[in-house]
Amino acid sequence: MTRKQIIAGNWKLNKTASETRRFILTLKNRIAGMDALPELLICPPSVALETAVDAARKSGIAIGAQNVYWESSGAFTGEISTEMLESLGVSHALIGHSERRALFGESDADVNRKLLKVLSGTLIPVVCVGEALADREAGRTEEIVVRQVKNAFLGVAHEHARRIVLAYEPVWAIGTGLTATPDQANAVQGLIRRSVGAIFGGAVADELRILYGGSAGPNNAADLMAESDVDGVLVGGASLDADSFAEIIRAAA
């Protein structure tokens, strides 16, 4: 099974709308001559989404939100619905990033609610899972990650499962410069694929794209993506510079 790789940038709380436009126009130039491009996804802050969609038109670069809410409308100050995102031309949404979980109290149940809501519309969810350093040191990586995956997928219909993208992001590797080794990433990602297979069957597991995230960059992306169960990277810090992001894309192209 060959799965099309995805190179995704998660900008977190970085870049204004005009910086977003400039970045995307630059990136379009950088990738213009590349063959066999992987799927490309950029997740800017929500206030830059409309600009990003406009700047990325006809480039093949997909635009995603960093977060969504599970209600469509109502008294939920500060939240953004899937319908609002869809109406802007946004195609993807990150769900359950470890910063959402750790800093904003998002639980597995919240992640599940968000995933079910996204799947009821047209967005492609990128569900993030990963263990903290203490979990890894206590030998609990497998248990934590499998539980996050199972809880996220509760109640997901079989026909929707194919739309899901997963990202394995060990918390100790995010923003720290400490990358999981290709072996470490592949071991956990193989396990994730098997647990999805146990829920939805081998065919869905086989098609599932599982990205690695956590200090991924131009220096290590190719080695990570050479692994059998690593189908791309979700890049934070190294996605903020168009040249470095283009280099990662080149590693996959």
Residues serving a catalytic function are 97, 169
User: Helices 141-152 & 182-200, crossing angle to 10 degrees?
Assistant: 40
Q: What is the dihedral of CA 203, 210, 115, 69, to 10 degrees?
A: -160
Nearer to ligand PGA, 200 or 220 (CB): 220
Please give the structure tokens belonging to residue 21.
């436009």
Please give the residue whose beta carbon sits closest to ligand PGA in the complex: 236
235 dihedral zone (left: phi>0; alpha: psi -120 to 50; beta): beta
Contact 119, 90 (CB under 8 A): no
Pairwise CA distance, residues 148 & 225, whole Å: 23
Please give the structure tokens belonging to residue 45.
């802050």
Question: In the chain, at which residue ranges do the beta strands (DSSP E only) sit?
Answer: 6-10, 39-43, 61-65, 92-95, 124-129, 165-168, 209-213, 232-235
Nearer to ligand PGA, 218 or 237 (CB): 237
| Shortest reach from residue 6's CB to ligand PGA, in Å | 13
| Shortest reach from residue 219's CB to ligand PGA, in Å | 12
| Shortest reach from residue 1's CB to ligand PGA, in Å | 25
Nearer to ligand PGA, 169 or 227 (CB): 169
Nearer to ligand PGA, 82 or 220 (CB): 220
**Which of 170, 163, 68, 150 is CA-nearest to residue 109?**
150
| Shortest reach from residue 224's CB to ligand PGA, in Å | 12
Nearer to ligand PGA, 189 or 200 (CB): 189
Binding site for ligand PGA (CB under 6 A): 10, 169, 174-175, 213-216, 234-238
Pairwise CA distance, residues 56 & 106, whole Å: 30
| Shortest reach from residue 234's CB to ligand PGA, in Å | 5
Please give the structure tokens belonging to residue 92.
């993807």
